[in-house]
Structure 1
């Protein structure tokens, strides 16, 4: 798997070092390396970036602000000279936190960690259940129980067929990699279990729980192509 990689940092020297690391790593392909957050943001929002190497302290747009905008659009490895933001940063889609100066060996460990979290193992799509961490407990959920999954701030809610729900500190992009093929992302805030769809009217899905889930504009093509096929 080749990860299209973006570098965003306000220090040209830091960009130069990271760009060298990316070009030396076979599994990475440089998409952009820039000090301008808005150039990088444009590529991320166009889904042309799989991995972002992101500095935290920048004058125009801080790393935290940037992560709030891009949400779970891509994987993020933070590259910073400041350890103080480590705890806050893990509320976002961060796979690792690299402190400057960054050595190539430590950089590779972060990439390996990212690849492990990104790769879907063959048997994951055939599992009848998933394990979900909720608070201090890890809960086993049967895939047939789950009607839909909804983003709720820094958490996600698993809505179950019996009307109950399970709250987990997770994000939809990570969850997609653990789900069976019966699921479909239909909105930036929703993944739905196709088996629990009762009807579809225009861009509104009625589930077995009798609630309505919208189909987002950027997900319509893939969703209706699957329905039509």
Structure 2
């Protein structure tokens, strides 16, 4: 199995060293970078090259949450902190795990196992061109090609397909990570569309199967690029 590429971002030299040691002692992991603050990490674009980032919450100037807000796309994220009080906010960001300092080997190993399971599920979903969602207390198989668009509904999303609609407990950001990036694009904070199903568009509106949805100004260039326009 290919090694997981891991980056560490932590303001504490002691905790960076502890994490680096745990990573280097695991033959399935590869440390590709270690940074003492978020500014360094931003400059190295680690979100584009790492499979997993261990990210300190409490850092000066730019904290862990600020860095997650900056990234458009993120790999698996494990937040680390001295305080348990950030855990609720952490999982609003759909992080893979939340570890309290000082770290111990057993808890570290469990977190790595969770990351590997997540990555396997994502790979299987992409390879099989479908995913499973929990809707109305049952798991439903959804083919990517059948999805027309995804719409935000508070703490839920509405998944609109060619045969039915499904209301799923998920954030838009979390669900977007499960979709093939070459096929789906977020055009607005409230909408993700299947680019293969676009029928019409202008500078402000895109139409999918008769449904008109707004295009946010900052997301318009990405949509045009995805459509080859």
Calculate the TM-score normalised by the size of structure 2: 0.73
> Aligned partners of 1:69 and 1:48: how far apart in 2?
16
Give the equivalent residue in structure 2 for 1:90.
Answer: 91
> Aligned partners of 2:67 and 2:206: how far apart in 1?
32
Q: CA deviation at 1:92?
A: 0.6
Give the equivalent residue in structure 2 for 1:185.
Answer: 184
Relative distance call for 1:193 and 1:103 in structure 2 (3 A) is same
Give the equivalent residue in structure 2 for 1:76.
Answer: 77
- Give secondary structure in 1 for the equivalent of 2:92: coil
> Aligned partners of 1:106 and 1:211: how far apart in 2?
47
Bigger Cα displacement from structure 2, 191-200 vs 97-106: 191-200
Relative distance call for 1:127 and 1:50 in structure 2 (3 A) is closer
Give the equivalent residue in structure 1 for 2:57.
Answer: 56
Q: Specify which of 131, 134, 137 is matched with residue 132 of structure 1.
A: 134
Relative distance call for 1:73 and 1:220 in structure 2 (3 A) is farther
Give the equivalent residue in structure 2 for 1:107.
Answer: 108
Contact 1:71 1:92 in 2 (8 A): no
- Give secondary structure in 1 for the equivalent of 2:211: coil
Contact 1:8 1:40 in 2 (8 A): yes
Structure 1 residues without counterparts, runs of 5 or longer = none
How many aligned residue pairs are there?
A: 221
Bigger Cα displacement from structure 2, 207-216 vs 107-116: 207-216
> Aligned partners of 1:224 and 1:82: how far apart in 2?
45
Q: Does 1:168 align with 2:176?
A: no
Give the equivalent residue in structure 2 for 1:116.
Answer: 117
Give the equivalent residue in structure 2 for 1:149.
Answer: 150
- Give secondary structure in 1 for the equivalent of 2:97: strand
Give the equivalent residue in structure 1 for 2:7.
Answer: 6
> Aligned partners of 1:153 and 1:191: how far apart in 2?
15
> Aligned partners of 2:224 and 2:29: how far apart in 1?
30
> Aligned partners of 1:45 and 1:219: how far apart in 2?
24
Q: CA deviation at 1:224?
A: 4.8
Contact 1:5 1:29 in 2 (8 A): yes
Contact 2:135 2:167 in 1 (8 A): no
Structure 2 residues without counterparts, runs of 5 or longer = none
Contact 1:56 1:80 in 2 (8 A): yes
> Aligned partners of 1:175 and 1:140: how far apart in 2?
17
